[in-house]
A and B are shown apart, each in its own frame.
Chain A
Amino acid sequence: MSAHADPAPAALAPRESRLVPRLLIGLALLLTAVFVVVPMAYIFHRAFAAGYAVFLTNITEPNTLHAIWLTVLTAVIVLPVNIAFGVAAAWAIARFTFPGRKALLVLIEIPFSISPIIAGICYLLLYGRNGLIGPYLLANDIQILFALPGIVMVTMFVTAPFVVREVLPLMQAQGSEQEQAALTLGASGWQIFRRVTLPNIRWALLYGAVLCGARAVGEFGGVSVVAGKIRGQTNTLPLQIELLFQDLNVTGAFAAASTLTLIALVVLVLKTLMESRR
């Protein structure tokens, strides 16, 4: 990384080359502190400013507790589905050639580039009362929007690419020799997947799942369109934070925000641990 490791520039300008990296490192540290560390430390400071007991009262307030539960439940439903989908899609794209293979990859990646609020509005226009299949749902008393199914579906849309994007490059790099060998030895499809493919991709898979989970827990824009903001029923944790903040309940908002941040930090630690194993 540093320039003085390279002999040529070091010989030409040894003084400058030491100054520049230091400057850059200093700048990076400063910006990280200003933009990331200080605001995050402040969240926890504000959350605990009035003491641990007040924090606990705020967190165990039924509506906030329900928001935490709903957020976790959403992630728990979304994760397995997206893992299964991600592995299946990566498998199909890496191991088979079929018409539309490239197009499929592009389609899967759409949620990366589309703002989540567009996903929310699409679902609204599709499943809404005046939407394409809304009237049918209404006639059959199926509540999708402004209820758990809508929240889960939008979250699924937003987090769809994470597992594929992690698993696919690894599968492509590894090639299919081992699987073909297993096939010639008479292994069944399921045996190949469980004994050969899965062990090879497991770290990438876990890494993708962790990213997917982090995104699912933090999703705000899309969910805010389809949740209906019914407190204690369809408010996820990010929505609840906004609501508490607008209620001028700053302590409550920071308590909820620190909980969400804590979840994110745990995920970050998991991610870092996995990166070292990859």
Chain B
Amino acid sequence: MKSRLLAAALALGLAAPASAQDAILNVSYDIARELFAEINPAFAAKWKADTGRDVTVDQSHGGSSAQARAILEGLPADVVTFNQVTDIDVLAEGGLVDPNWREAFPNGASPYYSLPAFLVRADNPKGIRDWDDLVREDVKVVFPNPKTSGNARYTYLAAYAFALDKNGGDQAAAQDFVKQLFANVPVFDQGGRAATVTFAEKEIGDVLITFEAETGGIAAQYADKNFVRVTPSLSLYAEFPVAVVSENAAKRGTEEVSKAYLDFLYSPEGQRILATRFNRVHDEAVKAEFADSFPELKLVTVEEVFGGWDKVKSEHFAEGAILDQVFVNQ
């Protein structure tokens, strides 16, 4: 222990610039900790094989809007891996990220994606298959507060998109639908992890709605409870965008390794790690390999249904907009 302390002291105080050592900082969203703990060593091995250089990837995790704020104030991130497009847009507006960041990497700079999906109790006693079942009177639904949680806003938009699709684009019908959905929620937690605790540990509700990437992880973590993952017939495409923070990377001379790191997320090896963590990926071979984990469904995007995030913000989430009209927090 003494020698470790000494090593830590040396590492912190007298960090001499090592010969062939790269270091980058990946600033990321809150629930990606386990994911990048697995990605980083795999990337380091690949970087070593390709260039002969060692690389350490440091991680900082927090709410992605708060993380964007810290970067604006000088947190020296080389790359960001977020769960909200708007949070990278903020960095682009601040001049830290290339304004055309969405073209810098494939698939709109989103190496993987997910969607709001369901997790129900063992053997699915209420027979929950699709969004329709969630507005039944005998079903209690758990998801976090859409006023505070990005995760819940996706749930709200997905339900809204489902109702629009079913009712031939009738806005009033869709608003009635989400109103009924909210009425079936016994408690609105602040964030995704808290809603998980409500459903899994406090055993409240018949169905938990959260990202599919989470439902798989929760089912595995509470294996003894035999939760069942349910994929609805339609859901919303949720992007996980990435970008090089070019201003910082240029200054620190880490552009090459930063780009390689994000490219790695698109490589078959990176995509396989992402898929084992229940994220949907684009690589065809990996997709085929994990087809059983990811049932097919109709996926719609915010652009198609709502005309983009700016419109969603003004029409749905602004003060007094549609969400405020249909959402009554008991």
Which residues from chain A sit less than 8 Å from chain B, CB to CB? 60, 62, 65-66, 69-70, 73, 124, 127-131, 134, 138, 141, 143, 145-146, 148, 228-233, 243, 246-248
Chain B positions 48 through 92: 1 when the CB is less than 8 Å from some CB of chain A, otherwise 0: 000000000011111000000010111110000000000000000
B73 touches A65 (CB 8 A): no
Q: Residues of B within 8 Å of A, CB-based: how many?
A: 25
Minimum distance in angstroms from A31 CB to a CB of chain B = 29
A233 and B5 alpha carbons, distance in the complex (Å): 14
A66 and B15 alpha carbons, distance in the complex (Å): 14
Minimum distance in angstroms from A139 CB to a CB of chain B = 10
A246 touches B8 (CB 8 A): no
Which 7 A-B residue pairings sit nearest by Cβ, starting from the closest? Answer: A128-B73, A129-B74, A228-B75, A69-B8, A230-B60, A146-B75, A229-B60
**Residues of B1-57 contacting chain A, CB below 8 A:** 1, 4-5, 8-9, 11-12, 25, 30, 33
12 pairs from A and B in contact (CB 8 Å cutoff):
A60-B4, A65-B4, A124-B73, A128-B73, A130-B94, A134-B73, A146-B74, A146-B76, A229-B60, A229-B62, A230-B59, A243-B61
Minimum distance in angstroms from A266 CB to a CB of chain B = 17
B193 contacts A by Cβ under 8 Å: yes
17 more CB-based (< 8 A) A-B contacts, given A130-B73, A228-B70: A60-B4, A65-B4, A65-B8, A66-B12, A70-B12, A124-B73, A129-B72, A145-B73, A146-B76, A148-B12, A228-B75, A229-B60, A229-B61, A230-B58, A230-B59, A246-B30, A248-B221
Residue from A60, A127, A248 having most chain B Cβ neighbours under 10 A: A248
Minimum distance in angstroms from A245 CB to a CB of chain B = 11
Given known A229-B61, A232-B58, contact A128–B1 (CB-CB < 8 A): no
A14 and B239 alpha carbons, distance in the complex (Å): 76
Task: Tell me the nearest residue of chain A to B31, going by C-beta.
Answer: A246
Minimum distance in angstroms from B18 CB to a CB of chain A = 16
A146 and B73 alpha carbons, distance in the complex (Å): 9
B8 touches A146 (CB 8 A): no
Task: Tell me the nearest residue of chain B to A127, going by C-beta.
Answer: B74
Minimum distance in angstroms from B74 CB to a CB of chain A = 4
A231 and B61 alpha carbons, distance in the complex (Å): 9
Cβ of A229: which chain B residues have Cβ within 8 Å of it? 60-62
Cβ of A127: which chain B residues have Cβ within 8 Å of it? 74
Q: Among B1, B9, B33, B76, point to the contact of A60 (Cβ < 8 A).
A: B1
Cβ of B58: which chain A residues have Cβ within 8 Å of it? 230-233
A241 and B306 alpha carbons, distance in the complex (Å): 41
Minimum distance in angstroms from A6 CB to a CB of chain B = 54
Residue from A66, A129, A134, A233 having most chain B Cβ neighbours under 10 A: A129
Residue from B11, B59, B60 having most chain A Cβ neighbours under 10 A: B60
A138 and B12 alpha carbons, distance in the complex (Å): 21
Given known A230-B25, A230-B60, contact A130–B72 (CB-CB < 8 A): yes
Chain B positions 133 through 161: 1 when the CB is less than 8 Å from some CB of chain A, otherwise 0: 00000000000000000000000000000
A128 touches B4 (CB 8 A): no
Cβ of B221: which chain A residues have Cβ within 8 Å of it? 248
B59 touches A231 (CB 8 A): yes
A128 touches B74 (CB 8 A): yes
Task: Tell me the nearest residue of chain B to A73, going by C-beta.
Answer: B12
Minimum distance in angstroms from B67 CB to a CB of chain A = 9
Given known A129-B72, A129-B73, A228-B70, contact A247–B33 (CB-CB < 8 A): yes
Task: Tell me the nearest residue of chain A to B33, going by C-beta.
Answer: A247
A103 and B61 alpha carbons, distance in the complex (Å): 42
Cβ of A128: which chain B residues have Cβ within 8 Å of it? 72-74
A146 touches B70 (CB 8 A): yes
A80 and B168 alpha carbons, distance in the complex (Å): 72
A26 and B70 alpha carbons, distance in the complex (Å): 49
A247 and B193 alpha carbons, distance in the complex (Å): 10
A276 and B118 alpha carbons, distance in the complex (Å): 63
Minimum distance in angstroms from B312 CB to a CB of chain A = 28
Task: Tell me the nearest residue of chain A to B70, going by C-beta.
Answer: A228
A81 and B185 alpha carbons, distance in the complex (Å): 54
Cβ of A69: which chain B residues have Cβ within 8 Å of it? 5, 8-9, 12
Cβ of A65: which chain B residues have Cβ within 8 Å of it? 1, 4-5, 8
B8 touches A134 (CB 8 A): no
B70 touches A66 (CB 8 A): no
Cβ of B74: which chain A residues have Cβ within 8 Å of it? 127-129, 134, 138, 143, 145-146
